[in-house]
Chain A
């Protein structure tokens, strides 16, 4: 039991706890921002300006009755929310969120602020996000309800379509970074061009960044791409039949997936923990600011844009986003070859 080992365990628990909290914070932020955009007050009764509202929601969900349709497939019905939540937590494990630190001199050697340092981290994020579709699909199928089934089918079609663009956008970045490790990609973005422009990949990959963000919204099933749960057509989509804590797990998974997509975007395109004014060891503050900005953008999008039509979503994914992503990858590859 070296101090480093204990620190690693502490870090893992810390990340787990912070992800849980981030979902609660995001619920509050989402409701407040939605209220602001719609000129309402939003939650304001529980605690100061309603900050304890997520806590009240959790308590309410815990005391609800756990329902299961009679004709549902009991095993898969119970398994689906577990898959969703597990994948959401697991994906963040490979995301670095700060430079190596000694925790103010407590450790004799620096420790990376990352739960698992995998040298193919980008692919691991992608693999886990492609596994999370099973949670939704199985929830839709096992509920034995037509709304759930339609939601599950839509989500599998949507995720397969947008995964391709997502992967090609990632591939462009790893061509630039010349590595599959997120830490190395982030470290390549340190410093500035001409003394004032930060060397972030978003300036080299503006198209890739847009593709990544759009595909990320589709992957996390957020509006304007929230077809798996389109309320007006499908009641609540894949989680129509879920109640109580198993519903809460889907809810949790959605928000944690948002945080993960934002964190990966910050690492890949916005320079991760590198930024001006702050020393390297305080870089995690920059990281938090960047992730927060992207998350705000997500919420802003949701309450500004109406939902697409389903055929528009498919046409956009296959006929616009995918060709654009392929061209972007080819141009990036040519550029990397030319300038090397």
Chain B
């Protein structure tokens, strides 16, 4: 139980510090710490496979990309041009939409927490063996699994389209010639 509270405290504390940090590099590192604590919680739930996958996928792959991007942009401080004491500019529509989303999240949390007070209510089967997880993913949760894969496919396509358009526009700019007309112009 002490171990559980230790992991939970690390997870919550690190997550809070992620958004309280000014330095994005530290935010990324704290997020990794939070993932590590979550992984510890999975181990305590007798799900070592999920725990290791959490580390491999989130801490090992995704956060490396985050760190990579933050380092490439080289933004050590989230510098804002405005004075800290002045109130932030308020956008009415954005505020309302954000409030709506926050209320929805809070409502869902309350609903979920009050609904399954019995920890034995989850009947998803064994999570300790890889075979069991695979079987329930491809049978009981096949729809959610496929929808997620379509989502990732769409994101991948989007990234390809964005990167490709960038290259084409650069190529057309190069053909026109920003400095001098190197390439022969078509009439």
Q: Which residues of A are at the interface with B, using a C-beta cutoff of 8 A?
A: 73, 76, 118-120, 123-124, 126-127, 130-131, 133-134, 137-138, 140-141, 149, 152-153, 156-157, 159-160, 163, 167, 180
Residues of B within 8 A of A126 (CB): 56, 60
* CB neighbors of A among B55-72 (8 A): 55-56, 59-61, 64-65, 67-68, 71-72
The closest CB in chain A to the CB of B72 belongs to A153
Knowing A141-B71, A152-B71 are in contact, say whether A133-B64 is a contact too (CB < 8 A).
yes
- Cβ contact of A141, chosen from B25, B49, B53, B65, cutoff 8 A: B25
Which A-B residue pairs are the 8 nearest by beta carbons? A130-B60, A127-B55, A123-B52, A127-B56, A156-B68, A127-B52, A120-B48, A120-B52
Q: Which residue of B lies closest to A153 (CB)?
A: B71
Interface Cβ pair total, 8 Å cutoff: 64
Which B residues lie within 8 Å of A156 (CB)? 64, 67-68, 71
Question: Closest residue of chain A to B32, judged by CB?
Answer: A134
Q: Which residues of B contact A153 (CB under 8 A)?
A: 68, 71-72
B52 touches A137 (CB 8 A): no
Task: For residue B146, give the distance in angstroms from its CB to the closest CB of chain A.
Answer: 20
B25, B55, B64: the one contacting A76 at CB < 8 Å is B25
Q: Which residues of A contact B25 (CB under 8 A)?
A: 73, 76, 141
Query: With a CB–CB cut-off of 8 A, which chain B residues contact A141?
Result: 25, 67, 71
- When C-beta atoms are compared, the residue in chain A nearest to B131 turns out to be A178
Q: Contact between B71 and A149 (Cβ–Cβ < 8 Å)?
A: yes
Please indicate the chain A residues that have their CB under 8 angstroms from the CB of B49 in the complex: 120, 123, 180
* Smallest CB gap from B25: residue in A: A141
Query: In terms of DSSP, what is the predominant structure of the interface of chain B?
Result: helix
Contacts of A167 in B (CB 8 A): 56
Question: Is B102 an interface residue, CB under 8 A from the partner?
Answer: no
B130 CB-CB contact with A under 8 Å: yes
What would 8 A/B residue contacts be, using CB atoms closer than 8 Å? A118-B48, A120-B49, A123-B49, A127-B55, A130-B56, A131-B60, A157-B68, A163-B61
Contacts of A157 in B (CB 8 A): 68
A130 to B56 Cα, complex, angstroms: 7
CA distance A126 to B64 in the complex (A): 15
| Alpha-carbon gap, A126 to B130, bound state (A) | 16
Contacts of B60 in A (CB 8 A): 126-127, 130-131, 133, 163
**B60: nearest chain-A partner, CB-CB:** A130
CB–CB B72/A160 < 8 A:
no
CA distance A127 to B36 in the complex (A): 11
Q: How far is the CB of B174 from chain A (nearest CB, A)?
A: 19
B59 and A131 contact, CB distance less than 8 A? yes
Within 8 A of A (CB), among B69-98: 71-72
A134's partner among B48, B56, B64, B130 (CB-CB below 8 A) is: B64
Of all chain B residues, the one with the shortest Cβ separation from A149 is B71
Once A131-B55, A131-B60 are accepted as A-B contacts, the answer to whether A120 and B130 lie under 8 Å apart by CB is yes
Cα distance, A131 to B71, chains bound together (Å):
17
**Contact between chains at B130 and A160 (CB < 8 Å):** no
**Residues of B contacting A76 in the complex (Cβ-Cβ under 8 angstroms):** 25, 29
| Residues from chain A with Cβ under 8 Å of B29 in the complex | 76, 138
Q: Which of B10-50 contact A (CB under 8 A)?
A: 25, 29, 32, 48-49
